[in-house]
């Protein structure tokens, strides 16, 4: 029984994190209860409409009516089964990804990096530090100690 509660808490934390990415704050949800199961068709038992995700990605924002529906669903998480919670998480991820599409990391070509490196050292000339046991080292601190 304790393992199931941990999974539910993990799922709830993930849902809160996803909800915050689309502008739903925890204070809008915590302390309020609801029962979505009586509503019939919902994000708990049906996949989100692809036309809705397309609309969200075009507009760049989630409609207020959908945000309110998501809030009601989050408030009623305690009354949902594990399967319903998993489907809701998938639907919420689809909505979040439609609003904020995942960005692939952009890798710079090596030639650009090499050009930047050569630009950084432009005008710099290497100098030989004299000293040590090298026979070519005729000056510096080594020469100072050789003369004594």
Is the pLDDT at 1 greater than 60? The verdict is no
Is the pLDDT at 137 greater than 60? The verdict is no
Rounded average pLDDT over 129-146: 59
Instruction: Give percent of the chain with pLDDT exceeding 90.
Output: 2
| Winning range, highest mean pLDDT, from 25-29, 43-47, 99-103, 105-109 | 43-47
As a whole number of angstroms, the distance between CA 56 and CA 51 comes to 9
The pLDDT score that the predictor gives to residue 83 is 86
Report which of residues 114 and 43 the model is more confident about.
43
What are 23-81's pLDDT values in tens digits?
888 777 776 655 555 555 678 888 888 898 888 888 888 888 888 888 888 888 777 78
The pLDDT score that the predictor gives to residue 39 is 53
The pLDDT score that the predictor gives to residue 105 is 61
Written in H, E and C, the secondary structure of the chain is: CHHHHHHHHHHHHHHHHHHHHCCCCHHHCCCCCCCCHHHCCCCCCCCCCHHHHHHHHHHCCCCHHHHHHHHHHHHCHHHCCHHHHHHHHHHHHHHHHHHCCCCCCCCCCHHHHHHHHHHHCCCCCCCCCCCCCCCCCCCHHHHHHHCC
The residue ranges of every structural domain in the chain are: 2-99, 110-146
Mean pLDDT (the chain) is 74
Is the pLDDT at 127 greater than 80? The verdict is no
The pLDDT score that the predictor gives to residue 37 is 52
């Amino acid at each position: 029984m304790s393992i199931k509660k941990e999974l539910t808490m993990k799922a709830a934390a993930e849902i809160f994190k996803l909800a915050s990415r689309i502008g739903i704050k925890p204070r809008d949800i915590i302390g309020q209860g609801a029962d979505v199961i009586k509503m019939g068709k919902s994000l708990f038992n049906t996949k989100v409409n692809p036309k809705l995700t397309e609309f969200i990605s075009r507009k760049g924002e989630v409609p207020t009516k959908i945000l309110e529906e998501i809030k009601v669903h989050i408030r009623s998480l305690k009354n949902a089964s594990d399967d319903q919670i998993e489907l809701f998480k998938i639907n919420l991820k689809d909505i979040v990804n439609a609003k904020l599409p995942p960005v692939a990391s952009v890798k710079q070509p090596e030639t650009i990096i090499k050009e930047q490196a050569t630009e950084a050292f432009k005008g710099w000339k290497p100098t030989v530090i004299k000293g040590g046991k090298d026979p070519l080292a005729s000056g510096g601190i080594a020469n100072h100690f050789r003369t004594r």
